[in-house]
Structure 1
Amino acid sequence: MSTNTAKILTLERFLPYQLSVSSNKISGFFADIYRDKFALSITQWRIMAILGEYPDSSADEVSNKTQIEKSILSRAISKLLHRHLIQRVFCESDKRRSMLSLTDTGMDVYNEVVPLSYQYEQQLFECFDLQEKEQFNSLLEKLYKHTENLQTNI
C-alpha cells in the first residue's frame, strides 16, 4: 500500500481556478445580453470591441490582443463578415495580408453594446470602494505582466 505524500490541492483556493471560474461567471452573464439582444457570441463581441478600439487591425493583431485561439477567431470573423458587421480589406502590396474593421452596421451595434458593457462593469465594481477598485485593476495588470514574463522564461 502506497501512501500519498502529495499535498492536497484545495481547488477553490487555487488562483488559476478562481480566475477561470470568476471569468466564466462574469462572462456568462454578459454573454446572455450579447446573445439575446445582439445575436453575438462572447468571441464575436470581443473581436468587435478590439476593432472599435483599434480600427484596421489584422486577424493576428486581434488574436494577440484577445488571446483567442486562431481557429476559433477565424470562425467568429467569418460569421461577423457574413452578417456585415465587419469588413476585410486586402493590402495592395501583399494580398495575403488583410485588415479588419467595423462596418457602419457593426459600429451601430458597437455603440449600443459599449454603454451596456460599462454599466455591467460598474455593477461588478459596486462591491469595491474606489481604492479597492484601483488596487484590483493594478494587481490584475501586474499579474498579467508577470504571466507574460513566466511564459517567455519557460
Structure 2
Amino acid sequence: MAIRSEASDAAEILNLENFLPYRLYRLADAVSREFSRIYKDSHGLTRPEWRTLSGLGQHGTMTATELGEQSAMHKTKVSRAVAELERRRWLMRTPDEKDRRIEHLTLTGTGLAAYREMVPLAKAFERDLLARLSAEERTAITSGLAALETSLVPSKS
C-alpha cells in the first residue's frame, strides 16, 4: 500500500468553486437567468428566441448560420427559435437568390417593434447589474473580459 503525501493529494484535487472557467460559467448562467425573467415576462421569449430576436434587431438580416455563430447557439436551438418567431410573425425568411438552401432572416414590423420595446429593458438591466460594482470594479471587469475575449474568441475580420 503506497502512502501519498499531502502535496501530491493537493495536486490531484481541483477546487471547482475557485476554478475560473467554472466561475465564469456559473456567473454567466446566473446573469442570463436573471435577465431571462425580463424578456420572458414582457414577451414570453425563451433564451434562444431572445438571442435570435436581438441578433436580427442589431444586424438587420442574417442567416441561421450567422445567428448561431454570433450567439454561440447550436443550430437546432436557432432553428427552433426561428420557427417560433416566424410562427408569431416576428420574422420572415427570404431564400437566397443564388443558393436556395440559404435563407435570409429579417424581423417583421411586429418583431422590430418587440425588439425596440426590449432594448431599453436590456440596457436598464445592464446598468443595474454594473451599479452593483464600484467604478474600479467596472473598469477591471470590462478590461478583464476584453482581454479574455481577445485571446479566446476568434475575431471576424
Q: Is 1:106 the counterpart of 2:149 in the alignment?
A: no
Structure 2 equivalent of residue 139 of structure 1: 144
Residue equivalent to 1:152: none
Q: Deviations over 1:24-78 (max 9, x none)?
A: 1111111112112201011111111111111111111111111101111111111
- Secondary structure of the 1:40 match is coil
Q: Which position in structure 2 is the counterpart of 1:63?
A: 68
Q: Does 1:117 align with 2:106?
A: no
Identity of aligned residues (%): 33
- Specify the alignment match of 2:29 in structure 1: 24
Aligned length in residues: 149
* CA root-mean-square deviation: 1.7
Highest Rg: 1 or 2?
2
Greater CA drift, 126-135 or 8-17: 126-135
What is the CA distance between 1:131 and its match in structure 2? 4.5
3-state SS, counterpart of residue 104 of structure 2: strand
Written as runs of structure 1 = structure 2, the 5 A alignment for 1:69-80 is 69-80=74-85
| Equivalent residue letter for 1:141 | A
Amino acid at match of 1:11: L
Q: Is 1:10 matched up with 2:45?
A: no
Length-normalised TM-score, structure 2: 0.86
CA shift, 1:135, in A, is: 3.2
**Any stretches of 5+ residues in structure 2 without a counterpart?**
none
Q: d(CA) in 2 for partners of 1:129 and 1:30? A: 21
Structure 1 regions of 5+ residues with no counterpart?
Answer: 150-154
Q: Structure 1 residue 117: deviation in Å?
A: 0.3
Cα offset, 1:134, TM superposition: 3.3
